[in-house]
Structure 1
Amino acid sequence: MDPDSSSSDMWWGTLGTVRPFSNFHPERDVQEIQAALERKDAVTLVRILTNRSNAQRQVIAQSFEEQTKQDLSAALKKALSGDLEDLLLQLMMLPDQLEAHRLKDAMAGLGTDEETLLEILCTRSGRRLQEVSAVYKRLYKKDLEKELKAETSGDFAKLVVALLNKGVSTGGVQRDVQALAASLSGKKAEAGPWINILTSRDSGHLKKVLMELELETGQMVDQTVEKRFSGDFRLGLRVLVQCIQNPEVYLAQRLVTMKTSLVHGIMVSHSEEDLLAIRAAFLRLSGSSLFSALQNHFKGQHLQALQAVCRSED
């Protein structure tokens, strides 16, 4: 599917908005953070933590612990509250830890947030998801695949597990197109070929397959999915197709809702990867820049922190 993105070594020149701070002095940052925590000075905490890359934040956290014998995230929890606390704690997580945290949250309590599960599983590579699975097991002492199976059922469960374990195998474009077309020929569409093909080819190949399938069937793939499938499996296929065709547009559509948990999760996890591309898609979709849209929905230091991650007006 999508190429691996290792946020820990992302550098400016990618489509990220957050870049390594050039004049980085972790000891100085730790001193400022210590003083800010004592004063509960959110302005200083936001200024420093949103202007450092994730790798630099990890250095700060380590240095903070060495100097104070305290965990920085625990200290932030004591000094802050609400949405700002949540956002800064997410910024302090390692990229794979954040994805594991978001998956856990999506399965917590009554009901499952299927869209967040799908967002992460459809936009991350197989290799990245294996790393997230390992972190999930270490953090929560539970097997991610078993957790996903317990939260889902039927063809949707098969799709979710296939996405978690996605690999890349080769297949001819025409052969894949014919297999998908044949799956639609009966009274009830078959889920199997859609799961097998859409979770086991690279994104370039799949884009060609979906374009050829549209020529073959005479309708857009999302229309085919809408008509021939139902329930959670239909939702899963719809998200997967969108993420194959244009993941930035899918993520921008999620951001348009301005739901706090989505804004945090997507902006933080994509800040060093492709948030510039998501910003551009957001502008095309909504007619407003993400920077301005944030201003209409959030306030105070929480807004300042979000806009710092967003970086600038489009």
Structure 2
Amino acid sequence: MDTDYSKPHNMCWGTLGTVRPFPNFHPDRDTMDLQVALQKKDTLTLVRILTNRCNAQRQVIVNTFEELTQKELSAGLKKALSGDLEQLMLELLMSPVEHDANRLQQSMVGLGTDEETLMEILCTKSGKKLQEIYSAYSQLYKKDLEKELKGETSGDFGKLVVALLNKQVMVGYVQRDTEVLCETLKAKKVDPGPWITILTTRTSEHLNKVFFGVEIESRQTVEEVVEKRFSGDLRLGLKVLVQCIKNSDQYLAKRLSSMKTSLVHGILVSHSEEDLLCIRAAFLKLTGTSLYTTLQKHFKGDHLQALLALCRSED
């Protein structure tokens, strides 16, 4: 075995992700090793390779595996693995936009809709990225994402969801936006329209200045305003949106603290190459315990080793 395969994966200074491109990448060799590991059901090797390659490298492996073996790597994983580990490894094989599209689809299937997962993805992705997810969703499921979201939501919450999906940054004036939002609070029933429009068409930097003005005027935090003046799914949606605008890392850390398997998979896979270091720092500040240690308390076996490989290290 190449000794580089057993070396710890070092993070690069200046990046906010925990998973980086493997420096001595040989997709042909990875394919051969994976093929043997699948036959032997050697989960340790499967986990070691797939968690130590960045997503772009995994996509090359997927294509190389199919070219050399005439078989799909995902099908092999389904035969060799089971349960949570199987699900995590399959998620790692998806491209980032396919993974987000899959999470959106999963949040809408079956009885009831997982509104908070919908909001998590819509609130933490840029408008450009959401359009890529939109296209991936159409290719994967042969359905229009906007129509699907409209079918799963209703009322003002539905309007918020669609506005987020199609969000485009527009120029606004802090004083004017602050006055508009404060004016809505004077009515017995708050008009959600201005809140939806302003919160989905401004930058986070702009909105944090607006929130500061609203908080001075109302003598409440924006979260408290939303909690008291809105209701139902719209209240949930606006609360998530406000939290993400203020500090998305903190919001995602709070989501992770539940240690719900699907959330842990979703966030670690989605953010491992983007900003997981920031989320880890927020998790430590929020809970007093590192994410690395917390994972060890809630998961076990090869599944745990895969999660720890994505998390990468102790804080």
- Cα distance between partner residues in 1 of 2:15 and 2:103: 24
Instruction: Kindly tell me the number of residue pairs found equivalent between the two proteins.
Output: 305
Question: What does residue 194 of structure 2 align with?
Answer: 193
Instruction: Give the equivalent residue in structure 2 for 1:79.
Output: 80
Name the structure 2 match of 1:3: none
Deviations along 1:31-62, one digit per CA (max 9) or x if unpaired, are: 11010000000000000000000001011111
Tell me, which stretches of 5 or more residues in structure 2 are unaligned? 1-11
User: C-alpha displacement at 1:311, in angstroms?
Assistant: 0.0
- Structure-2 residue corresponding to 1:265: 266
Residue aligning to 2:243: 242
Superposed counterparts of 1:132-281, under 5 Å: 132-281=133-282
Three-state SS of the structure 2 residue aligned to 1:47 is helix
Shift of 1:269: 0.3
Paired-residue identity, %: 67
CA offsets 1:242-278 (integer angstroms, 9 cap, x no match): 0000000000000000000000000000000000000
Equivalent runs, 1:20-39 vs 2, <5 Å: 20-39=21-40
Q: Once structures 1 and 2 are overlaid, which stretch shifts more, 290-299 or 205-214?
A: 205-214
Q: Quote how far apart the aligned CAs of 1:183 are.
A: 1.1
C-alpha root-mean-square deviation of aligned residues, in Å?
1.1
Query: CA–CA distance in 2 between the matches of 1:271 and 1:12?
Result: 15
CA distance in 2, matches of 1:286, 1:93: 31
Matching residue's letter, 2:309:
A
SS class of match (1:19): coil
Q: Quick check: 1:12–1:20 contact (8 Å CA) kept in 2?
A: no
Q: Secondary structure at the match of 1:246?
A: helix
Distance, in Å, in 1 between the alignment partners of 2:34 and 2:285 is 38
Q: Which deviates further from its counterpart, 203-212 or 287-296?
A: 203-212
Is contact 1:12-1:19 (8 Å) kept? Answer: no
TM-score by length of 2: 0.95
Structure 2 residue 291 is the aligned partner of structure 1 residue 290: yes
For 1:232 and 1:205, the matched residues in 2 are separated by: 25
Q: Distance in 2 between matches of 1:294 and 1:110?
A: 29
- Paired with 2:209 and 2:31, the residues of 1 have a C-alpha distance of 50
Q: CA deviation at 1:124?
A: 0.5
Unaligned residue ranges in structure 1 (runs of 5+):
1-10
What CA deviation, in whole Å up to 9, does each residue of 1:156-202 have, x standing for no partner?
00000000000000010000000100111100011000000000011
Equivalent-residue separation in structure 2 for 1:19 and 1:86 (angstroms): 22
- Residues 1:43 and 2:44 aligned together: yes
How big is the shift at 1:12? 6.2
Q: Distance in 1 between matches of 2:68 and 2:152?
A: 43
Q: Distance in 2 between matches of 1:121 and 1:183?
A: 25
1:282-303 CA deviation, whole Å, 9 max, x = no partner? 0011111000100000000000
The match for 2:4 is none
Superposed displacement of residue 208, structure 1: 1.0
* Separation of aligned partners in 1, 2:251 and 2:241: 10
CA distance in 1, matches of 2:232, 2:296: 36
Q: State the SS of the aligned residue for 2:65.
A: helix
Range with bigger deviation, 269-278 or 20-29: 20-29
C-alpha distance in 1, partners of 2:21/2:55?
Answer: 8
> Residue deviations 1:125-181, cap 9 Å, x none?
111111101110111011111111111111000000000000000010000000100
Amino acid at match of 1:20: P
Secondary structure of residue in 1 paired with 2:202: coil
Higher relative contact order (CA 8 A, sep 6+): 1
Distance 1:225 1:63 in 2: 51
Q: Give the letter aligned to residue 311 of structure 1.
A: R
* TM-score, normalisation: structure 1: 0.96
Letter in 2 for 1:145: E
Tell me by how many angstroms 1:13 deviates: 2.7
In structure 1, the residue matched to 2:55 is: 54
1:109 alignment partner in structure 2:
110
Q: Tell me how far apart the structure 2 counterparts of residues 74 and 203 of structure 1 sit (CA, whole Å).
A: 42
